[in-house]
Amino acid sequence: MWQLAVKVIDTAIVVVAISEIAKRNSLWAGLLASLPLTSLLAFVWIYLDSGNADHVAALSRSIFWLVLPSLLLFLLLPWLLRLGIGFWLSLAISCIATAGAYFAMLRLLERLGMQT
């Protein structure tokens, strides 16, 4: 149970740090957020929990393929905001579009016989 608490606290620290840095400097917050810190933490937790490097490799492959559709969020959200669409609606549209892109990528990977 204490390991779960440590995982949650470590992850929360990263998210809070990014949001606090963003209040002062969006470039540095963007740099920190763009680092694959969540992935690195997940790799460490999975390896420590299972000792299985194959599980880490499988997760890494899945992340690679699923990062591609996630990029739509980062392109669409600022574009919608620049068009003058409100924040919440822009965020909702971007999230829905990104979810659709994830679904399309999963279907594509399935059709190509790739296991994520």
Q: Is the pTM of this model over 0.95?
A: no
pLDDT value at 30 more than 90: no
pLDDT digits (tens, 9 = 90+) for 51-87: 999 999 989 998 899 999 999 999 999 999 999 999 9
- What pLDDT, on the 0 to 100 scale, is given for residue 109? 92
Closest CA to 105 of 96, 92, 114: 114
- What pLDDT, on the 0 to 100 scale, is given for residue 116? 52
Domain boundaries, the chain: 52-116
pLDDT value at 33 more than 70: yes
pLDDT, mean over the chain? 90
Sorted by sequence, the CB contacts under 8 Å of residue 87 that are 6+ apart come out as 81
